[in-house]
Amino acid sequence: MAKPQTITQKILAAHCGREYVEPGELILAKVDIALGNDITAPIAIKEFRESGAKRVFDPERVVLVADHFAPNKDIPSAIQCQILREFAREQGLRHFYDGGEMGVEHALLPEKGIVVPGDLIIGADSHTCTYGALGAFATGVGSTDLAAAMITGEAWFKVPESIRLEYQGVCPEWVTGKDLILHTIGDLGVDGARYMAMEFVGPAISALNMAERFSMANMAVEAGAKNGIMAVDEVTLAYVRERALRPYRVYESDAGAPYALTRTYEVSRLEPLVAYPPSPENVHPVSEAQEQGIRIDQAVIGSCTNGRLEDLRLAARVLKGRTVARGVRLIVIPATPLIYRQALEEGLLAIFLEAGAVISPPTCGPCLGGHMGILAPGEVAIATTNRNFTGRMGHPTSQVYLANPAVTAASAVTGRITSPAAL
């Protein structure tokens, strides 16, 4: 009788031609998608050329997205994107996204059906773990690992142990998947899941929409995890069926599968949360932040964590009929061209403009301190992004608070960190 396995073990086993893999075991596995962006792919392309390789293993499965410093902010970033364009043209890559096709990579790939359930995906970007929301094994790697995968279609892995995270109850109003993952990171710490698979389960997860699930899987790496993953259900399948470019396979964890740790969270007692600088684990209730009267200079709604249509709808609910506080800059960044168009057609962009927001083209922009909203010395931002380390969004003396789109929008209106319930 086969030993019980987690969903992560099963996907890794299938990709190295085995029935079973053991946590801690080193394996060589085939990858379905190898992803790079305009910061990480140029290094991989240099390694690719220096190896003597001539062709990628499969031009359908190497994906390049120019999203971090695009539209190009300066000459060095323009050169980086040029390297991607030339390589994509030379190799005949089907999935190269630039200009008006470019979106934030971790929103773009699921939207286009490039990643599907059961996949093994590596990306030279730590937030590649986003795709675990689709029931895939997805993880970030270094640029040299990406180069090797572009050549061979394979990568080395140590099979991670799994943590089972169960969410019970019903989320109160304004509490989102972003709050669930902040609560989890606050509990586990930024290294509490180091090189483990965070498996999200329970009725509160089943109740989340796909945007919220992507947000949770996206920030698994903020707890040190190798990957975050959720079982496929009808919500997932409804999303995948109309998009998938390839056949897919659904895996689920066996009864009795091995878990290094199990945590249960009662979500009905939560309120929206705010992660104070300088760490995503420094989590506080929004009511506490509101009492402290934390003044802000900038609010950012976007990123691979919270730049999807559902996120923009939530922010628009708060901003409709209101204006941004004097002295506060609100930057809204739809994550892909399709999301931008949908937000335009639904009237969301008009709400943002009437409120006094700046609307950016799809880009990672300020999240990584790239462009489109860099902070000056001593400035304070609240953002729907995923990291708030010292200097993350600009000057080393600036500060970033992390929150969901509703809290971020409410804070832009008052000029201080505020619960949407207070409006």
pLDDT tens per residue, range 23-59: 999 999 999 999 999 999 999 999 999 999 999 999 9
List, in order, residues 6 or more apart from 291 with CB less than 8 Å away. Answer: none
Query: Is the distance from CB of 324 to CB of 355 less than 8 angstroms?
Result: yes
CA atoms of 72 and 94, how far apart (whole Å): 22
Query: How large is the angle between the packed helices 348-355 and 309-319, nearest 10 degrees?
Result: 50
What is the pLDDT of the chain when averaged over all its residues? Answer: 98
Q: Can you read off the two tokens belonging to residue 338?
A: 């399709």
In the chain, the amino acid numbered 65 is V
pLDDT tens readout for residues 262-305:
999 999 999 999 999 999 999 999 999 999 999 999 999 999 99
Q: Can you read off the two tokens belonging to residue 311?
A: 């996120």
Structure-derived torsion over alpha carbons of residues 385, 81, 31, 157, reported in degrees to the nearest 10: -60
Three-state SS for 133? helix
pTM: 0.97
Residue 362: DSSP 8-state:
S
Sign of CA dihedral 345, 219, 184, 21: positive
Counting residues of the chain whose pLDDT is more than 70, the rounded percentage is 100
Counting residues of the chain whose pLDDT is more than 90, the rounded percentage is 100
Given the candidates 3.50.30.50, 3.50.50.60, 2.40.420.20, 3.30.499.10, the CATH classification of the domain at 7-264 is 3.30.499.10
Identify any residues that bridge with 36 across adjacent strands, giving them in sequence order: 64
H or E segment and range at residue 44: helix 41-50
In the chain, the amino acid numbered 321 is G
Region 178-191 average pLDDT:
98
pLDDT tens readout for residues 2-16:
899 999 999 999 999
How many degrees, rounded to 5, is the angle at CA 180 between CA 170 and CA 34? 125
Determine the CATH number of domain 273-418. Answer: 3.30.499.10
- Phi first, then psi, for residue 356 (nearest 5°) are 100, 20
| Count of CB atoms situated within 10 Å of the CB of 193 | 28
Identify any residues that bridge with 139 across adjacent strands, giving them in sequence order: 122
pLDDT, residue 249, reads 98
pLDDT, residue 2, reads 82
pLDDT, residue 1, reads 66
Tokens 């009492």 — which residue? 291
Residue 312 has pLDDT above 70, yes or no: yes
Query: Is the distance from CB of 226 to CB of 197 less than 8 angstroms?
Result: yes
pLDDT tens readout for residues 49-105:
999 999 999 999 999 999 999 999 999 999 999 999 999 999 999 999 999 999 999
Q: Where in the chain is the domain with CATH 3.30.499.10?
A: 7-264, 273-418
Query: How large is the angle between the packed helices 234-241 and 210-218, nearest 10 degrees?
Result: 100
In the chain, the amino acid numbered 350 is A
CA atoms of 229 and 7, how far apart (whole Å): 8
CA atoms of 342 and 384, how far apart (whole Å): 20
List, in order, residues 6 or more apart from 325 with CB less than 8 Å away. Answer: 412, 413, 414, 415
CA atoms of 404 and 273, how far apart (whole Å): 8
CA atoms of 341 and 33, how far apart (whole Å): 27
pLDDT tens readout for residues 155-184:
999 999 999 999 999 999 999 999 999 999
pLDDT, residue 14, reads 98
Residue 400 has pLDDT above 70, yes or no: yes
- Phi first, then psi, for residue 27 (nearest 5°) are -135, 155
